[in-house]
Each structure stands twice: as structure tokens, then as C-alpha cells.
Structure 1
Amino acid sequence: MAGMRAVTDAVVVGSGPNGLAAAVTLARAGLEVTVFEAEETVGGGARTLELGLAPGVEHDICSAVHPLALASPFFAEFDLAARGVDLRVPDVAYAQPMADGPAGIAYRSLGRTAAELGPDGAAWFGLFGPLVENAPMLTELALGDRRSLPAGLLTPTGLGAAVAAASRLFEQGTRAWSARFQGEVAPALFTGVAAHSITTLPSLAGAGTAIMLATLAHASGWPIPVGGSGAIVAALRADLEAHGGRIRTGHPIRAWRELPRARAYLFDTTPATLLEIWGERMAPGVRAALGRFRYGDAAAKVDYVLSGPVPWADPRVGQASTVHVGGTREEMAHAEDLVADGVHAATPLVLFSDPTVADPGRDVAGLRPGWAYTHVPTGSTVDVTGIVTAQIERFAPGFTDVVVSSRCVPAAQMAEHNRNYLGGDIAAGAVSTWGMVARPRPTTDPFAAGIPGVYLCSASVPPGPGVHGMGGHHAARRALAQRFDLPAPSLAPDPAP
């Protein structure tokens, strides 16, 4: 490898939560680690920055609400709280405003949620009761590497939890999804969560997403990091650097020849970027399989500066840091179908977050950030500010009166601040039934890139999208065992001197 720079133990390309989790795992094992980041700031989809919309008001660039960070085995051992990261859990995890009546409110309490759903309360409790009781087992299964099973799964309790989850997956992932419910509010409350998958509904992938995230809402909550998502990134970076790791920002990698010689390379990137860098050295079968990796539909983002709380028609919605704005189950499913067909929905599903609800410190001189996504066809160049604002106004009359300023990032521009978001695909790959098992390619080791010592560790590998660090941690553990013959290190905070 002529022309290579200095030798190091491990190189990580990409500094999103998975890349930093991989780097932390490797550095804590005593290895010399260098991280290369194309952008000028670290964090990927978990950055918090001032956008210039209002002095001092900071916005979460992509992710804002973090149920998977709170549930993640990696972050549990890493102990974010001990590192000063306050994951603030509101009493209301998420809400679903309705046009013609009271909203659906998902409280941390399953019983209270069911009590306010009227005739569908018992159905909601029956849907989630067994899942909430077994949330740790389901979380371990959902955030695993898709190639090994949780130790307790083969016990009677574990098998019962798996059967309960599977039965609900097939119920809510097929056209039988409304058989359980009588009214419109409960099914809409479920569908708003399912739509996080950015796929047609009903679908097994959408149902799996909703079952996991809604179970966590009642088991541990949907937290907001105080100060923004960047607080999680800052904790990871501090630990990495404390263990000798180095980060080089503003340094895109375009070919393997630009990398220093190392014993292991981990890529927090899409398969497309991995192919660009290493494709010429891959076996033809691996190269072809990664080339067939399917990317999904897109998101366009609208950042707002607001002069006060959103005036939701149902005031209870204002207690939620996350609001799924889309109306009934049928309206949301229709909007997602249109997107899959390459059409912009006139009344789209909007995911809205007001982090100040849980973190009052985000208010600066009476101004607060508002965070919104809507789903659009891949590569869309449309400025969606108008349709997103109108959809929120539909359920919060007077919303436009509290909007001080805004900006849109169309889907086609999402990759300008995060190269993993090709065409606006914020999940780094289509969320599909096949992908739940075979992402990024059919193989016994989904993290292996087909070249000795090269691994993929992004949201494109198991367990998929989300700020949980598990993709990076899984890949790093493989690298430690296969390239260095080292066990996984402790992630716990270092003892005070």
C-alpha cells in the first residue's frame, strides 16, 4: 500500500453515534484509534447546532428524541447519566392529534393511556401489556446483531415474549390491523409510530417499528437529551479522546489509498460509500450484493423558531415532546402510499418535536426550536415548509402566529450535512421485512465487508437506524476478536482519580 501514512491499530470512517461507539469500544480495549469525519463537526445524525435562525437557539440537525438511546445495552453500560447526559423523560411520550375530537395520548403509564382511549382502552392495554412486561427481552432481541439470540429467549418467559411479539407483528403488519379496534384514535396512535419506518402501511417492517418504539414509550419512555442530541455525541467524544482516540474532521475519504495502514477499518457509512472506497478490492459477489442494497423513501426537514408553545387544539398534546401529525390511520397510510409511488402528499404525515416541553433550557429569550420532518419521494427538491406548516395548523389553529422564522432542508439536500442520507433516506437503507434479517446483504456476518479487517458499522447494518450505538459496538467486538484476539472491554466510566 504505497503512499500510506503512519500505521495505526484501527481506523473508523464516520463519526455518527455508531462510528463513535465503535471507536470508543476499540479505544477502551487499548487500541490506537483514528476517526475520519467528512463534516466539520462530529455526530452525524445526532448533532445540535445553531442554524442562524435566531441568536442562541440551537436545533437538532436530525434526531431529537431518543427512546433507543435510553434502551440501548451499549449506552446502559457506557452510563450516559454518570457522564453528565440528562435524558429527560416526559410523562407523555408522544401524541396523535385528531381533526374531529380528542387526541390520542401515549403516556409513560400504559394504564393511563388505555384509560383515556375509551372503548379501545382494553384493546390497547391487551396489545402492549405483555410486551411492556417483557421489554428488556424484546429490546435485547431488537438491538441484537440478527445472528445470535438473547440468553433468556429459550426460557418459558422468553418464548412467551417472542410469541406475543410475533403475533402482534403479524396482526398490525397486515390488513387485519384494525380488527382489534373500534374507534379511530387508538389505531391512529399506533400508526403514527409505525410511520417512523418510512414505508408503506400496513407492513411488517412498520409494525415492528411501532411495536418496539411504543413498547419503550410505556416501559422506559421517549427521552429528550437536555441541551440537545449533541450531548450524547459530546460524551462519546470525551471518552474516546480520554482513551487516546483521535478525530480528524473536515476529512472526507474517497478511496482506500487515502487511509493510513491499519489492522482494522470500520465504516459508519452506507454500502454505497463503502463500495466507492473499497469496491475495487472486493470479491465480485460481495460487490454485487452491496450494489443491490436498496435505499428507502426520504425525509425533508423544516426547522422552526417559535415564540411560544404550539397552540394544539387539544391542550394535552402540548405535554408531548413528540407529535405525529397526520390525522387518521387511513389518512396516514394513504400519504405513505403516495410517497412510495413518487408523489408528494398534500396532507402528509409530519413528525414534530418541541424539545422545550421536556427541556425548558432550550428556550432562549422567549424563543424555542421547533423540529419537523415529513416524508417525500427520494431525491425530492421540494421546499415543504408550506405543506408542513399547513398540516400542523390544521391541528393547532394559530400555529403560524407563533412561527418567527423557518428553513427547509429538501430531501435532495439532506446528504449535504450527512453523506449517509442519500436522496434524503435518513434510515440509510429501506426499512423492509427482508432488511430486518438480511441487511445489508445475505451473509452470516452482516458487518463484514468481504475484505479481511474491513467492517460496516452504520445504520445500514443490524440493528438498523436509531441512536443506540449498537451497530458500531457489534462491529467493533467482531474486529477485536478477529483482528486483535481481544475481548470486549468495559464501557463503564473510569474511576475518579
Structure 2
Amino acid sequence: MRSANIIGSGPNGLTAAVTLALAGVQVSVFERNVQPGGAAATGELTLPGFLHDIGSSVFPLGIASPAFRALQLEECGLEWLQPGTPMAHPLDDGSSITLESEVESTLSQFSAHDARNYRLLLGPTIRAWEDLVDDFTRGLLRVPKHPVAMGVFGIPALLPAQVLARLLFRDERARALFAGCAAHSVIPFTKASSSAVALVMLAAGHTTGWPIARGGAVSISRALVNRLTELGGKLYTGVEVTSLTGLPYSDITLFDTSAESMASISGDALSLAFRQRITHFRPGPGIFKIDYALREPIPWRDLACLQAATVHLGGTLAEIARSEHDAFYGRHNERPFVLVTQPSLIDSTRAPLGRHTAWAYCQVPYGSERDMSASIETQIERFAPGFRDVVLDRCAWNTRALGRWNLNLAKGDISGGAMTLKGMLARPTIRGHRTSNARIYLASASTPPGGGVHGMCGYLAASAALADHRQH
């Protein structure tokens, strides 16, 4: 194999490009937008001087990613910044439960019973963190390199989050902390494996952390582009690919797009049976997002929230569970779980001196066009009275707007398809990242290991292509 075209320059597309370039393949990347990076992008969305992460903003699996580590992105300008507290979860009594870097600092906030069970639950995952990350970021349909560690992790991970939280924890504080992390799965807490993401997010907080990137998410994309450029790869921005016939010849083509976009662009190059397979792949819920320019930091009732770049808003396990269930099954919730990031608290490059940025999103039904601004801001005001008074400007995105900006976020689905156990085991491709055409691969979040900024989907797709074409 001598040449490859890659459509889409998100973290997965760029990681695939660099992986192939390191193997001596001549790589050309084609990006529809002017700015590369996909959802790892940053821009002035509100007022001049306020830098907002348009998509992702906090990267627990970015810093832990085997792919990013292997590419040594820090040498290309990427700098991780760790908040004092990985995550805070305010409660209605005015206090907060916080995920602290030190396990004992987290446990000091629990009852003795819940602290003991938390230690039993998370201890094995924390101790085997590096081995586990290497295994679960390579997909589920493979023999793990560390079967014992994966087995210990998998037993609780397969349980529904609602069951595991109530089985292990008596106190609503511990349940709430677990529920906020489980909500990153973007599936109902009654689904099998909805506990897995909670275990990963909690263990990450105690190991590699929940960092942001100095200068914004775009810094990850810039580092990948820098690595690609130094290896001789080519990046073409502002180029919308609508057909494979419009591309220069290459031995293989990799898509960092949705499966639907890949099918549309490839046309008859993919078999009818494979294209029909894609239509049966269930999407995940959408999101409604707001970017804020702030006069001052969010006025949290509990100042502990000012130590965290990430804040979970949703009160109790029961409330968060209802929100997750409603969005997945096509209903809006007027008290949604809201995820808030406030990166300017630890990165002064994000806003003018003394000012701040934040974004917040909630989950909504796939393709929803409802404006959830009032519901989101009511939830923030619930734990930070006077929040609206510090807002200088805002920029809201419904699911359609997100999809227009980035086709990989079609109708607001940020996970590349539902992250249920069935959805993870039956992603729309064949044997990982392969399609019905031996020269076409899918490298986006619609392939193992799924959503998140970690580059592993692209790394695994490129590795599969190299293995398939090593003698050509």
C-alpha cells in the first residue's frame, strides 16, 4: 500500500492519517470545513477574545489514549492542564460531592458503608488502569491482553447503572456522583453496561485525570496536524467530498464520518447489503448546547465547584436517570441532566483578563429542534443563583445546527451511534472497521471503541488497513 485518502479531519481521521504516514504511506486528508479538527475545534462564538470549544472540551480519555500517547503529541505543542478537582456535583442542600484526584479525599465525603464499597468497586480498576485502557479502547470483540483485569472490571461494568448504584451505595451523595459519571454513556440507566462509562470516568479521575487542553480543543487538532505535516502528509481544508470519483487515486480510503455519510459518498462501491446494514444502526440521543461569555465565574453556591473544570447538574440518581431515559426514548425533560465545563478557570487564554467562558449541554431526542436554553439555565441557577446576571453573551446550538457544522454530529448524536451493549458489539462495520469493499474503511466514532476524543477509532482503522494491505 502506497497511498491513502482520508475524508474528515476529526481526531480519529487525523490519528489514522498520522498512523499511516508513520508506516510510509502517502496520506491526503480532505476536510469540509475551513478549520480542521472536527469536534475538537475552538473559536470566537460570542464576543471578541472569548475562545469557546465548539465541541468537546474535557478529555479524560484523551490524556489516557494509547494512540495519543504513542504519537507523543506533547512534542507537537499539546499541553494538558489539570483542574484542582476533576469534577464537582452540587446538591440541593447547598453542598457538593466532588470527584477528587486522591481516592481518600473522595471517600472522606461518603458514609463508612459507601466508602468501603466505593473502594472495593474502583480499587481493581485504578490499580490496573493502564492495562485496562489499553484493552477497552481497542473494542470488545477481541481477546483482551489482560483478561483477568478485564474480567474483574467487566462484572460490575455490565450491570445497569441504576442497579449498581443502589446495590452498592446507601447515601444519595455517592449515588449522585456515580449517576453523573454514568450519564456520559448517553443511554438509560436501565440498560446493561450503562455502569461501564461510570467506572471509566471515576477511575480516570483518580489516575490520569480530567484535563483540558491549553488554548482549547483545537490544540489537540493542531498537534495532530503538526505531526502529520512533519511526516509529509497533506491536508486540504474547505473541500467537501460528495463522491469517491472526485478524489485523486489512492490504494485505500478511510472515512472519519458517520456511517451514513460514508455510504452516501461511496455509493455502489459498497454492497447493497452493507448499505442496508447501516440503515439499521441505531443513533444515540442528540444534545442542545450553549456557549457562554461571562463577566465573572459562575456564582456557584458551593465554592468547591470553582475548583473543577467539569460540573454535573442533576441532583439525585433518580432525577438523572429520568433525564437519560427520556432523551433516549424521544422525550424532552424540563429538568435535564446538564454537563457544564468552565475551562477559563484553569486556562487564562480562553477569555480577556477577568472574564470567563463556559459551555453547557443537555441531552435531547435525536434530531430535536426544541430550544432548551431556559431549561439549561434554570438548572444552572438552581445551584448557582444569579448565573444569568453574569452572562455577557451566549451562542446556542440545537441538534440541526450541530449537524450543519459537523456532519459527524448528524441530528446531534455526539456518540456516533447508541452506546448500548448491543450498539457497541454491533457497530455498522464488518470486523471492526472494515466494510464490504476491501479498500474502504470507517474510522469514526461509529466504530470501536466508540465516542470520545481519543483517536483510537482512527488508529485501529489504520492498523486494520495496514494489516490487510501489508503485502501490496
Call closer, same or farther: CA 1:178–1:59 in 2, change over 3 Å.
same
**Given the alignment of the two structures, is residue 38 of structure 1 paired with residue 32 of structure 2, yes or no?**
yes
Partner of 1:148: 142
Q: Which is further off, 80-89 or 167-176?
A: 167-176
SS at match of 1:33: strand
Deviations 1:240-298 (A, max 9, x none): 11111111111111122112211010000111011101232222322221221111111
Query: More displaced, 275-284 or 400-409?
Result: 275-284
Asked whether the equivalents of residues 318 and 357 of structure 1 are also in contact (C-alpha less than 8 Å), the reply is: yes
Q: The residue matched to 1:34 in structure 2 has which SS?
A: strand
Query: Contact (CA 8 Å) 1:298, 1:378: kept in 2 or not?
Result: yes
Residue number in structure 1 paired with 2:3:
9
- 1:10 Cα offset (Å): 0.6
Q: Which amino acid aligns with 1:32?
A: Q
Amino acid at match of 1:73: P
Gaps of 5+ in 2: none
Superposition map of 1:190-339 within 5 A: 190-339=178-327
Aligned 1:70-469 pairs, distance under 5 A? 70-119=63-112, 120-151=114-145, 153-154=146-147, 159=148, 161-173=149-161, 175-441=163-429, 443=430, 445-469=431-455
Q: Secondary structure at the match of 2:170?
A: coil
Alpha carbons 1:271, 1:460 under 8 Å: kept: yes
Amino acid in the other structure paired with 2:452 = G
Partner amino acid, structure 1, of 2:260: A
Does the aligned pair in 2 maintain the 1:196–1:206 contact within 8 Å? no
- Cα distance in 1 for partners of 2:124, 2:416 equals 31
Q: Secondary structure at the match of 1:266?
A: strand
Alpha-carbon distance between aligned partners in 2 of 1:369 and 1:334, rounded to the nearest angstrom: 29
Please report how far the alpha carbon of residue 463 of structure 1 lies from its aligned counterpart in structure 2 after TM superposition: 0.7
- The two structures have a TM-score, normalised by structure 1, of 0.91
The one-letter amino acid paired with 1:481 is A
Contact 2:144 2:150 (C-alpha < 8 Å) held by counterparts:
no
Does the 8 Å CA contact 1:378/1:412 hold for their aligned counterparts?
no
1:301, CA displacement in angstroms? 0.6
**Deviation at 1:171?**
4.3
Mapped to 1, the partners of 2:190 and 2:90 lie a distance apart of 20
Deviation of 1:229 after TM superposition, in Å, equals 0.7
How far apart in 1 are the matches of 2:355 and 2:296?
7
* 2:14 matched residue in structure 1: 20
Aligned pairs, how many? 471
The structural deviation recorded for 1:367 is: 1.8
Contact 1:300 1:408 in 2 (8 A): yes
Q: State the shift of 1:484 in Å.
A: 4.1
| Contact 2:182 2:197 (8 Å CA) reproduced | yes
* Distance in structure 1 (CA, Å) of the matches to 2:55 and 2:452: 11
Secondary structure of 1:196's counterpart equals helix
With 306-315 and 276-285 compared, the bigger mean Cα shift is at: 276-285
1:65 and 1:349 mapped to 2: Cα distance?
Answer: 17
Query: What is the CA distance between 1:232 and its match in structure 2?
Result: 0.7
Q: Equivalent residue of 1:447, what SS?
A: coil
SS in 2 for 1:388: helix
Q: Deviations over 1:467-492 (max 9, x none)?
A: 11111111111212222439xxxxxx
1:482 aligns with 2:468: yes
1: CA distance between counterparts of 2:204 and 2:386? Answer: 32
Task: Give the deviation of 1:404 after TM superposition.
Answer: 1.0
Matched, 1:471 2:457: yes
8 Å contact from structure 1 (residues 145, 474) kept in 2: no
